């Protein structure tokens, strides 16, 4: 395609005009799987500059958002146990559990510490040998390798009071589940750049091959997003079905094989619950046999807690592209970043938070 997919000379400012001119007649729905893409697109105003017939849908690519309330409830209950310190990323603090969130539990006296890395949680365990330190393991293949590293180091250093409460997700089974639903109408897909760095671009080959879905991997800068969207629209216009990597400076075909090996050593696939999709076989990562000592579920004898959705919240439907955030009756009324009801409004990668922060009426 001339213009946005083959030339950088026009500059980002010209992309909206070029895209609208080339694809004015297209009528299509594109899913941006990654929550970071959702925020980047809206921050740059790209959603307002596309042709009228091009619709952007959010997908299940926000790890905090797809984590069920039962997991949060489990973490809250565990935090109330004596001599337990919960270590977590900050995004999880206000995600609603069935009865409370972690922020409320901390206000009530639970020892809950926000960390920037699971390696920080490991150091907390080393410094507090009389306590049990549990790291809340939420994330996709992008986050899981550094958690795997922390588990390996705990074993090497013989730090026995460290464990992980795993809720890691593998994106492919969720996409397969989603795209197998005849009620989901998606014409093209923007694949997550960060995840592709780890998994490799070829990990998304199944999308065009099995589901006949045009797919483009792209980065997060405005120019990269325009290039990726332009390439995807060009596929749709010409009837091609391909996997294109428009993020070659970061994504290779095979990805980060060292990180993949680490994942395969420390974790093993298991069933996982996804908000909006239910339980999907082999879509989660649990500790492998060699490292099960560090699984908090086994250490504390934990059993799964069914997730309860906040009344009126449509986060699960937003995550599967069935509705947009503005179609939720709570959006901007009873649910806002200052007082969120559902996780899609809590997370920095949540679609509802992105739509709220970058509303055209603000």
Mean pLDDT of 34-61: 94
Tell me whether residue 85 is in a domain: yes
**What is the length of the chain?**
362
What does the CA dihedral 4, 9, 10, 12 come to, rounded to 10 degrees? 70
What's the confidence (pLDDT) of residue 8? 45
What does the CA dihedral 350, 37, 27, 326 come to, rounded to 10 degrees? 20
Tell me whether residue 38 is in a domain: no
- Tell me how far apart the alpha carbons of residues 179 and 186 are, in angstroms, rounded to a whole number: 8
Tell me whether residue 325 is in a domain: no
Q: With 70 as the cut, is the pLDDT of residue 212 above it?
A: yes
pLDDT tens-digit readout, 86-105: 999 999 999 999 999 999 99
Token pair recorded at residue 105: 């539990």
Grade residue 330 by pLDDT with cuts at 50, 70 and 90.
very high
What's the confidence (pLDDT) of residue 13? 66
Tell me whether residue 74 is in a domain: yes
What are the residues whose beta carbons fall under 8 Å from the beta carbon of 261, sequence distance 6 or more? none
Tell me whether residue 164 is in a domain: yes
What's the confidence (pLDDT) of residue 304? 86
CATH number, domain containing residue 121:
3.40.50.11740
Number of domains in the chain: 1
Mean pLDDT of 130-141: 97
Q: With 90 as the cut, is the pLDDT of residue 360 above it?
A: no
Grade residue 7 by pLDDT with cuts at 50, 70 and 90.
very low
pLDDT tens-digit readout, 230-247: 999 999 999 999 999 999
Tell me whether residue 188 is in a domain: no
Tell me whether residue 202 is in a domain: no
What's the confidence (pLDDT) of residue 10? 44
What's the confidence (pLDDT) of residue 12? 62
What are the residues whose beta carbons fall under 8 Å from the beta carbon of 333, sequence distance 6 or more? none
| Domain span including residue 271 | 65-170+255-299
């Amino acid at each position: 395609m001339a213009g946005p997919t083959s030339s950088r000379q026009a500059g980002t400012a010209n992309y909206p005009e070029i895209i609208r001119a080339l694809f004015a007649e297209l009528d299509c729905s594109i899913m941006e799987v990654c929550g970071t893409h959702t925020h980047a697109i809206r921050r740059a105003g790209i959603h307002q500059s596309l042709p009228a017939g091009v619709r952007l849908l959010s997908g299940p690519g926000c790890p905090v958002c797809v984590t069920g309330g039962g997991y949060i409830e489990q973490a809250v209950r565990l935090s109330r146990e004596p001599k337990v310190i919960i270590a977590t990323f900050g995004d999880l603090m206000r995600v609603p559990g069935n009865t409370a969130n972690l922020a409320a539990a901390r206000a009530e006296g639970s020892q809950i510490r926000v960390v920037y890395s699971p390696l920080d949680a490991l150091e907390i365990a080393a410094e507090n040998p009389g306590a049990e330190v549990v790291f809340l393991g939420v994330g996709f293949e992008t986050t899981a390798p550094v958690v795997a590293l922390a588990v390996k180091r705990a074993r090497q250093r013989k730090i026995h009071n460290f464990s992980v409460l795993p809720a890691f997700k593998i994106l492919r089974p969720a996409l397969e589940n989603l795209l197998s639903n005849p009620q989901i109408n998606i014409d093209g897909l923007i694949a997550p750049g960060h995840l592709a760095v780890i998994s490799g671009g070829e990990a998304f080959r199944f999308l065009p091959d099995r589901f006949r879905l045009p797919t483009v991997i792209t980065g997060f800068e405005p120019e990269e997003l325009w290039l990726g969207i332009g390439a995807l629209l060009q596929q749709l216009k010409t009837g091609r079905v391909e996997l294109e990597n428009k993020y070659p400076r970061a994504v290779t075909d095979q990805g980060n094989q060292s990180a993949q090996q680490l994942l395969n050593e420390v974790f093993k696939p298991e069933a996982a619950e996804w908000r909006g999709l239910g339980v999907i076989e082999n879509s989660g990562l649990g500790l492998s046999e060699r490292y099960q000592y560090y699984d908090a579920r086994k250490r504390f004898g934990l059993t799964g807690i069914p997730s309860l959705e906040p009344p009126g919240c449509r986060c699960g439907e937003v995550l599967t592209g069935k509705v947009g955030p503005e179609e939720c009756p709570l959006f901007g009324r009873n649910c806002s970043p200052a007082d969120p009801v559902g996780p899609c409004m809590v997370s920095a990668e949540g679609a509802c938070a992105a739509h709220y922060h970058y509303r055209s009426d603000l």
